[in-house]
Chain A
Amino acid sequence: MNFEACFRLLADRLKHDVIVTSAGNCSEVWWEITRETERVFYLEASMSLASLFAAGIALGAPGRTVVAFSGDGAFCMNPGMLLVERQLALPNLKHFMVSNRCYGSTNDLPHPFGDFVDYSAMARAAGIERVYSFSTVEGLGQGLDDMIRVPGHAFAVLEVEPLGRHAPSPPLDGPEVKFRFGRYLERTGGRPVFDAPLDPT
C-alpha cells in the first residue's frame, strides 16, 4: 500500500487518540499530513522504544487509546518489545509496525529482513492475541475500527511501499514536544505530569 495513503487514512480516522510516532518516516509523514503538535509525541530518536514509551503513557491513562508507530528497522532491533507488551496486556495500547522494507530515514537503504520474516507470526508467537496485517488501504479502512475501538492490546503490520523521498522532520525541539504533549494530556483529563514543586526551603 502507498505509505502516504495509508497515513492519510490513519490520520483521518485516529482524530482523538494519543499518538506516538517513531523516528524517520512515521514522524515525518504524520507531521506532513497533520501538522499536529499537541496529542502527538514525535519520538524522533528511540530506535525500537516507541511502543514501550507509549505503553508507559497508556498505563497512566486507561481511559485513552494510545497508538504507537514503529518502523520495521526499529522492530528488528528489539522484537522482544512484543513480550513486554504481551505481559502488560494494556487494553488501550495499539501498536502499528510499518513495514516498508527499507530504512526510510536513511535514504531508503534496503532493510533485508522483511523479505523472509513474518512479523504477524512473530507477534502471535509472542502471545499477542489480536494481530492484524494490512496491505491495502481498503483493508485497513475496513479493519481499523476493530483494531482500535475494541478494547484489548492489538498489534498490526502495515505493509507499505517505501516513501521514496525525503520528508521534513517536525520542526520541534524536544522540550517543546514534551510540554505541548504533557500539557495536552493534563488539559484533557490526564493525571498531573509536571508536578515537581520547586520548594525554596
Chain B
Amino acid sequence: MPGMDEPVDKVAQRIADVAADCGITLVASLPDGWITRLITQFDRDARFRHVAVNREESAIGLCSGAFFGGIGAFALMGASGFLTCIYAITKINYTYQIPLLIGVTLRGRPGDRAKFHQSNALYLEPVIRSIDMPFVAIERGDDIARLATAYRHSRVLSRPVVVGFTREVLRGEA
C-alpha cells in the first residue's frame, strides 16, 4: 500500500498479514484511538470484509454467526467496549461453544496516557480471567504472529480467545 512507511503503518500491515494468513476474512470493529490505523488497514485491504458496527456486542453477534457461514472472523475493539460484551460472550459463545477471536486494546498499562480509561482498564484482565477466557498479550512486534495461534486455539477450544495489543506495539515502538 503506497505511503505506508510509518511504524504504525507497518505494524497494521503485519497484523493484517497474520490475520489473512490464518484464514480471517471478516473484521468487525468499533474504534479505539489506539487502533484507528489498524481499522483503516482492514478497511482498505481487499483480503477482508470490514464491517463497522454500531456497538461492540454487535461485533460479537455478527462474528459468531459468521462461524456458521464458514468465515474466519475477528472482532476488534477497545478495552472499554470489550467490557460491555461479557453478556453476549457468555450467552452466545459459551452457551453454544462458538469460537471467536477478539482483539482489544490493553488499556491501563503503564504508558497509557488517557486518565479516563484507567478505571475500566484496572479490571480488564481480572474480568477476562474471571470468565476463564484465554488471553494472549501482544506486547512486542515479535508477538504479532501469536494472533494466528490465538485464532487457531479458539477453534480448537470452541470458545472465544482474546488478544490484547499494547500501545507500544501498535505504535511500532516495541
Contacts and interface: CB of A to CB of B under 8 A. Distances in A.
A1 interface: no
Interface in B84-137: 87-88, 91-92, 94-99
A61 B92 contact: no
Interface in A70-107: 78, 80-81, 83-84, 87-88
A78 B156 CA distance: 31
B152 A49 contact: no
A155 to B, nearest CB: 15
B49 interface: yes
B56 to A, nearest CB: 11
B9 interface: no
B153 to A, nearest CB: 9
Nearest to B71: A60
Interface string B135-150: 0000000000000000
Given A47-B91, A49-B58, A174-B95, A190 B65 contact: no
A80 B88 CA distance: 16
A148 interface: no
Which residue among B57, B58, B92 has the maximum number of chain A CB atoms within 10 Å of its CB?
Answer: B58
> Which residue, of B68, B73, B152, has the highest number of chain A Cβ atoms within 10 A?
B68
Interface in B57-76: 57-58, 60-71, 73
B96 A60 contact: no
Nearest to A179: B97
Contacts of B54: 78, 80-81, 83-84
Nearest to B65: A56
Contacts of A78: 54-55, 57-58
Nearest to B92: A46
Interface of A: 20, 41, 43-50, 52-61, 78, 80-81, 83-84, 87-88, 174-175, 177-178, 181-182, 185, 190-193, 195-196, 198
